[in-house]
Amino acid sequence: MKILLASLCVISLLVILPSVFSASSSSEDFDFFYFVQQWPGSYCDTQKKCCYPTTGKPAADFGIHGLWPNYKDGTYPSNCDETKPFDKSTISDLITSMKKSWPTLACPSGSGEAFWEHEWEKHGTCSESVIDQHEYFQTALNLKQKTNLLGALTKAGINPDGKSYSLESIRDSIKESIGFTPWVECNRDGSGNSQLYQVYLCVDRSGSGLIECPVFPHGKCGAEIEFPSF
């Protein structure tokens, strides 16, 4: 009887343990990244408004919102590792670049640290199987420089001047410049006008290169959207 009970216990453990380890490893498993950049003018002219960073008004350029691990089915992991909190000291050499390229616009005004902490802990911890904390932020900075969204648009005559442009021309201009299809997210200004808000690009699982998106987020823009000044 004792032998039988011991055997049953072992069998139970063998059944339970794989599921435990699977849940643990899947928390950092993902298929690709969304690299998301936002236009500050469209963040600030909504009814919600915005607050400039403590360092002053950011440049009139797309700023990084985040680098987000995603699954091909459209879902995504989040808050994957509470044991690896944001550590500013690990990115001390990147702070100057991050204040410029990854500025906060949330109220009240801040240095950006709370924004970066949120992005790391919600999204970055889910990419630890591939890149560490320093590499996570460095990768996002490299991608911003590589993509140069504002340059791609202005080269095509699409300027942040408050005028309306076709969604198709915005998408095509970015694709022509970087070689991959973007997904454009719109929001509405204080008067209810649809406007260019964020641009999503997809990045391979290693974070080393752009790819065509396996799946796009939900939501849509009108055929004509504004590109507000900042």
Residues forming the active site: 65, 119, 123
Cis, peptide link before residue 108, omega less than 30° from 0: yes
